[in-house]
């Protein structure tokens, strides 16, 4: 069954790339007839992603949340899940032009990782693993969508806003809607991020005898929490639009650094993750 992982990864990458191409043609060249095909490809990609997670879970006899590869698969799964919800609820298919490049880049990173199944490290054999890492996945997935919405906001504003004659600007939602949705997604992601930090501290005390050790991944997860807390704070003070979008983008940069940058540049006791 381990040999199935590679063809699933290839099929997953092809599905996401094709979905992006169909969405691109749909919106940039006004080929609306291709929109349903693009949607089906996204659903297919989500099913393939789920299938790969199931295969990985069977191989390790548990939830695949133990390393960068497994977390990355769940990260992409969560991004797609939130996108499908946003697209269904608000008819925001055009956001695929900004969401799918994130997914494709993450997949290109994952295909270069070692997918060999190895025994879990002792620290990962804990009941806290599931809730700690799953809440991180859900929070990061939400923040990725908020990032895409914020980029859309800045692009549309740069192109001239609501009355712009530019084709891309005209097909994007209203600035007010993009701003509001970005806020709502972050608002939903913050409780998950908070639970991740709290359960991580409890797990650390159980595994290493201390709640906090200022490990690089711990520290950057806390930095990420502070950035998004600042975002919510300034929203309550009435800051919207460009300022909020920029902070949302900074927050997601902190997410990516916590996920990837720390693992390669600042190794610590979380280096296995």
pLDDT along the chain (273 residues), means of 10: 80 94 86 84 94 89 81 92 88 90 93 75 65 89 95 91 82 90 94 91 71 77 93 86 92 90 63 48
Neighbours of 152 (CB within 10 A): 26
Shared-domain flag, residues 85 and 5: yes
Shared-domain flag, residues 176 and 252: yes
CA-nearest of 176, 178, 175, 107 to 145 is 178
Distance (Å, rounded) from C-alpha 117 to C-alpha 210? 30
Count of domains for the chain? 2
Structural domain harbouring 221: 125-273
Shared-domain flag, residues 43 and 5: yes
Shared-domain flag, residues 95 and 165: no
Please identify, among 120, 139, 159, the residue that sits at the C-terminal boundary of a domain. Answer: 120
Distance (Å, rounded) from C-alpha 15 to C-alpha 224? 31
Q: How far is the first Cα of the chain from the last one, in angstroms, to the nearest whole number? A: 24
Shared-domain flag, residues 56 and 147: no
pTM recorded for the entire structure: 0.89
Shared-domain flag, residues 10 and 97: yes
What's phi and psi for 215, nearest 5 deg? -60, 145
Shared-domain flag, residues 78 and 173: no
Shared-domain flag, residues 107 and 169: no
CA-nearest of 142, 221, 135, 222 to 187 is 142
Shared-domain flag, residues 145 and 267: yes
Shared-domain flag, residues 266 and 134: yes
Shared-domain flag, residues 40 and 131: no
CA-nearest of 35, 30, 40, 21 to 171 is 30
Shared-domain flag, residues 140 and 88: no
């Amino acid at each position: 069954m381990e040999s199935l992982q590679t063809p699933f990864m290839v099929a997953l990458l092809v599905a996401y790339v094709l979905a992006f191409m169909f969405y691109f043609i749909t919106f940039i060249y006004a080929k609306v007839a291709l929109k349903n095909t693009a949607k089906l490809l996204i659903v297919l990609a989500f099913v393939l992603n789920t299938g790969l997670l199931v295969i990985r879970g069977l191989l390790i006899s548990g939830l695949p949340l133990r390393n960068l590869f497994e977390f990355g698969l769940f990260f992409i799964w969560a991004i797609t899940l939130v996108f499908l919800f946003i697209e269904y609820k608000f008819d925001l298919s055009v956001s695929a032009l900004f969401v799918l490049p994130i997914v494709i880049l993450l997949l290109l990173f994952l295909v270069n990782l070692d997918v060999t199944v190895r025994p879990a490290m002792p620290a990962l054999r804990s009941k806290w693993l599931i809730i700690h890492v799953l809440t991180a996945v859900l929070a990061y997935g939400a923040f990725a969508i908020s990032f895409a919405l914020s980029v859309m906001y800045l692009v549309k504003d740069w192109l001239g806003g609501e009355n712009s004659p530019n084709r891309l600007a005209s097909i994007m939602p209203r600035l007010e809607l993009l701003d509001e949705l970005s806020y709502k997604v972050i608002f939903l992601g913050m409780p998950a991020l908070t639970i991740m930090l709290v359960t991580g501290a409890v797990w650390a005390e159980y595994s290493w005898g201390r709640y906090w050790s200022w490990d690089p991944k711990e520290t950057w997860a806390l930095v990420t929490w502070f950035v998004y807390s600042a975002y919510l704070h300034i929203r309550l003070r009435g800051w919207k639009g460009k300022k909020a979008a920029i902070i949302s983008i900074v927050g997601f940069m902190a997410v990516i650094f916590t996920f990837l940058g720390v693992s390669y540049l600042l190794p610590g006791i979380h280096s296995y993750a």
